[in-house]
Structures are given as C-alpha cells and as structure tokens.
C-alpha cells in the first residue's frame, strides 16, 4: 500500500494485488486517468492529513481536513476476481449525506439507502431503481461522490475502478452524519482519491485534475438533432429529412439508433434494410 498527497492537495490511498502468479487485475491506463503522481509533496503532509488507528485486529485509515474527519477506510480486501472496500463518509448535520455515483434520474440529489450498480449499458428506463436489490445497471459510470463536512467545507471521493461494481449506501441519519458505503467489484486495483475544498465547484476542479476536463462540445452538436428508435430502413430517415425541408425547419443532425446495425453488432450495418446508408450519408454531407 502507498499513501501519498498529490501536488494539488488530493490525498491518494492505493493498494495492489499481491497474490499468486496469475495476471494482475486490470489497471486503468495513465492515458485515461493520470493524476501526475510524479509530482508528490513531502511525506510530512501525509501525516497532517491521515490519522491511523490500529486496534488489535484491524487498521483504520481516517482522512481529515484539519481537525475535521471526512473519510474513513475501514476495511479493504483485494483479490484476483473481486475488490471489497468498506468506508464511511463523515458529512455535516443537515447536509443530507452524499451525492453523485453514476447516471440516474431522480428528484433527490442525495443518495438514499440502497444499492447502486456501476456497469454502463443502454438503460431503457432512466428512473432510479437503486432502492431495491439487486440494483439496476446505470447508463453512465463515474464512481465519484461529494459531501459537506462538519466544518462547512466540501470533500469528494473518487474510486479509480472500472470493473462491474455495486455500491451499498446506508445513511446513519436523513439529516447528515455518517454515511456507510461498501463497494464490491469484479476485479480492479484499490485506488482511492480524497479531495477537499471550500466549495463543490472547487472539489469538481480537483476531480478534473485527475480524470481530465470534459471534451469541448463540437459546434454541430449544439444544433437541432432528430433521433428515435424504430426507423427500420434508410427510407424512414430520408423521409424525415425531406419533411424538415418541406416545413422549412432547421436540422443539423439526424441519428439512426441501433436499427441500422446487423444483429446489433458494432461497426456493421444491415445490408438488406440499410444497404443505401453510405449514399444517404454522402448526400447529407454534400
């Protein structure tokens, strides 16, 4: 295990699988997540942020902002085919817990008690179904959450993990306090980043310093798009383009959903129903 503080002030806890001769678990490439670990501050800073409790059986790592505890790593088990992390997020009274974790549609910004699955797929119903077990898969997967600490500052926790994963959340109280969070994943390394700042925006900037900034939206993407499931052949798409022209309506992009694929296989198209798709695309571009 290594404990370090990045130049940005983000604290990192990282441990790896030290098992038998089988291949090591998948590690997220630095081309995707690169926190500039070559720019580490002095070890003394680690002592200022980390408090280590060593009971008779277990060692607990507590990350704190000054005298305020914000995150506790209670237990970690890392194997070839699984990854288990048992943690506590210490939030302020009245803050309603933590928010974040994956793509979900809900009227409640903060995470309620329940199971949250991180395994991106095309979800037909974006409604949050995480309050029952097993949790439904999510459309987007960013294992990152934020909370407000007891000193009125904010903190964020990012787990650098891309394996299929379930997160179990249990709030000690609906009005803030300890939030017990357990993560069970089908592999991966242990790599947790804890960041602290005065506002949620500043915490988000620290998160971006690790995973990178969002890609700048291309100009054409800001126009009017037409998309739906069920356009069974190219003529359906052409008919829509023609109607936009007929009614003098703007149209920047037209999408074909999975209908165009051959047996839903990526990088293919249905030669029977979409055989003229290349010509259709060329005509649009011209």
Q: For 260-271, write each residue's pLDDT tens digit.
A: 999 989 999 999
CATH 2.60.40.1760 fits 2-211, yes or no: yes
Q: Per-residue pLDDT for 214 more than 60?
A: yes
What are 216-275's pLDDT values in tens digits? 899 999 999 999 889 999 999 999 999 999 999 999 999 999 999 999 899 999 999 999
Torsion of CA 132, 156, 47, 169, to 10 degrees: -10
**Which percentage of the chain shows pLDDT scores above 90?**
43
Q: Kindly give, in sequence order, each residue whose CB lies less than 8 Å from that of residue 266, ignoring residues fewer than 6 positions away.
A: none
Cis peptide before 247 (omega within 30 of 0): no
- Tell me the residue length of the chain: 286
pLDDT band at 17 (very low <50, low <70, confident <90, very high): low
Residue 153's pLDDT is what? 93
Residue 40 pLDDT greater than 60, yes or no: no
Neighbours of 133 (CB within 10 A): 10
| Cα–Cα distance measured from residue 71 to residue 158, given in angstroms and rounded to the nearest whole number | 12
- What band does 44 get if pLDDT is binned at 50, 70 and 90? low
Residues 133/104/64/170 CA torsion (nearest 10 deg)? -20
Six-digit token pair at 67?
Answer: 């005298």
* CA nearest to 101, candidates 89, 93, 111: 111
Confidence category of residue 196, pLDDT binned at 50, 70, 90: very high
- Cα distance between residue 50 and residue 33, in whole Å: 24
Q: Residue 57: phi, psi to the nearest 5?
A: -105, -40
- Each domain of the chain, given as residue ranges in start order, spans 2-211, 219-285
Q: How, if at all, do strands 83-90 and 178-185 pair? A: antiparallel
Give the DSSP H or E segment for 43: helix 43-49
Reported as a single tens digit per residue, the pLDDT across 179-189 is 999 999 988 88
pLDDT > 70? residue 165: yes
Average pLDDT over residues 109-120: 85
Output the pLDDT for position 34: 74
């Amino acid at each position: 295990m290594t404990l370090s503080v990045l130049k940005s002030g983000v604290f990192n806890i990282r441990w790896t699988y030290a098992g038998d001769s089988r291949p090591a678990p998948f590690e997220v490439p630095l081309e995707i997540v690169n926190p500039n670990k070559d720019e580490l501050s002095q070890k003394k800073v680690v002592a200022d942020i980390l408090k280590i409790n060593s009971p008779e059986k277990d060692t607990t790592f507590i990350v704190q902002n000054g005298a305020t505890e914000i995150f506790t790593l209670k237990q970690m088990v890392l194997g070839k085919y699984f990854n288990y992390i048992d943690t506590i997020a210490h939030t302020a009274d009245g803050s309603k817990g933590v928010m974040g974790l994956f793509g979900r549609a809900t009227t409640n910004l903060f995470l309620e008690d329940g199971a949250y699955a991180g395994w991106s797929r095309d979800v037909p119903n974006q409604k949050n179904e995480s309050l029952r077990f097993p949790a439904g898969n999510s459309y987007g997967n960013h294992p990152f959450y934020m909370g407000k600490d007891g000193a009125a500052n904010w903190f964020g926790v990012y787990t650098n993990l891309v394996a299929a994963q379930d997160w179990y959340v249990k709030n000690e109280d609906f009005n803030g306090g300890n939030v017990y969070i357990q993560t069970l994943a089908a592999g991966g390394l242990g790599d947790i980043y804890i960041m602290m700042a005065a506002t949620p925006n500043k915490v988000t900037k620290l998160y971006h310093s690790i995973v990178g900034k969002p890609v700048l939206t291309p100009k054409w993407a800001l126009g009017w798009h037409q998309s739906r499931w069920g356009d069974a052949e190219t003529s359906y798409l052409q008919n829509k383009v023609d109607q936009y022209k007929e009614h003098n309506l703007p149209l920047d992009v037209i999408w074909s959903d999975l209908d165009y694929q051959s047996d839903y296989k990526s990088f293919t198209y249905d030669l029977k129903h979409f055989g003229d798709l290349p010509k259709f695309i060329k005509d649009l571009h011209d």
